[in-house]
A = this chain, B = another copy of it.
Amino acid sequence: MRSTKNTTHKKVTLVDVAAVAGVSAITVSRVINQPDKVSDLLRRQVQAAIDSLGYIPNQFASSLASSKSRVIGVAIPSLSNIVFNDVLRGIYEVAGKAGYKVLLVDTHYSPLEEEKMVRTLLSQAPEAMIITGGDQTRACQQLLQKANIPIVQMMELIDQPLDMNVGFSHWQAGYDVVSKLLEAGHTRIGFMGARMDPRVQQRMLGYKAAMDAAGIDWKNYVVTTPEPSSIALGCELFRSLMASTHGAIDSLFCCNDDLALGALFESQRMNIRVPEQLSLCGFNDIEASQFVNPSLTSVHVPRYEMGVKSTEMVIRALTGKPIEQKQVDIGYEVRLRKSTRNAK
């Protein structure tokens, strides 16, 4: 009804284009992949043929012949966790500009699922991989090593990276938060954790280490759950923590901002004043945190930059450019806001 020619539903191939343009197939291939190797005249001629036929190259044939997939495989533990939005934005941004496609999988925070997903990814022959954290199964790590491609493990600092590593120390961040609270005169510092993935564990270990260093017994101040984090869960956990501690805590460190916001909103309902009666600190510094009342103290993490850096590193590796350092500490920053007071 619309286009005049090839309403026949046969796929248009390189050869068809070549025939129309009156050149050989390889010349068409060059027009697409290395345009400057073809004379202006032919290039225009071929381009016209491509346009008129609506030719779209078959990437499978191309990849099979060249063993270049132009794909970067990315594995993240959760699509719902907003934290990964920014990371992904950075990854897509850099990858797109450099002409790479991104194949994304969600591992649901499960190393076993991750292994399965990595298999899937590898069968797409990605030229590089960006994965989250360091808790892959042994088999998964072997698969990755054997793939012999640039790999970045991101989000946290790993002891023995498979290849490259971009992140920051969640342990240190947890330790720092507690140190600030201690400095501000708090002693009965609570901890709320959900999901308890390796990074949350590290934050908690940092909390515990700082408490231990200050000689404070944290045993009754900690509440955790393997459930996925949410504001609703923050409300719940806050209630149960207040019940179990009989309101004895003077401050609370939440493993992320969702929980902290939940705690904040619930404290308002419970008529517990923040920060007068309770200092509150989150983690990740999502946008809402600086706008709620009182604004929420949180640990700011350069997530977008982490995505950008990770992708830049694999692309540098792919293009043979030198990598300054295989492990990059992207840092973080504790942002003190109105939800924490100085208790001294």
Q: How far is the CB of A59 from chain B (nearest CB, A)?
A: 5
> Known: A9-B148, A57-B123, A262-B291. Contact between A106 and B80, CB under 8 A?
no
Contact mask for chain A residues 67-105; partner B; CB cutoff 8 A; 1 contact, 0 none: 001000000000110100110110010001000011111
A residues in contact (CB < 8 Å) with B: 2-3, 9, 54, 56-61, 63-64, 69, 79-80, 82, 85-86, 88-89, 92, 96, 101-106, 119-120, 122-125, 142-143, 145-146, 148, 230-232, 235, 258, 261-262, 265, 268-269, 287-288, 291-293
Q: Is the CB of B69 within 8 A of A79?
A: no
Q: Is the CB of A69 within 8 A of B80?
A: no
Residues of chain B within 8 A of A89, CB atoms compared:
79-80, 106
Of chain B, the residue at the smallest CB distance from A122 is B56
Residues of chain B within 8 A of A88, CB atoms compared:
79
Q: Is the CB of B125 within 8 A of A59?
A: yes
Residues of chain B within 8 A of A102, CB atoms compared:
104
Beyond the given A54-B146, A61-B64, could you list 12 further A-B residue pairs with CB under 8 A, ordered by the A residue number?
A: A56-B123, A60-B63, A64-B64, A79-B89, A96-B105, A101-B120, A104-B104, A230-B287, A231-B288, A261-B288, A261-B291, A268-B293
Residues of chain B within 8 A of A105, CB atoms compared:
92, 96
Picked from B80, B86, B142, the residue with its CB within 8 Å of the CB of A86 is: B80
Q: Is the CB of B232 within 8 A of A287?
A: yes
Q: Is the CB of B63 within 8 A of A92?
A: no
In the assembled complex, the Cα of A63 lies from the Cα of B62 at a distance in Å of 12
Of chain B, the residue at the smallest CB distance from A7 is B146
> Known: A60-B60, A288-B231. Contact between A101 and B124, CB under 8 A?
yes
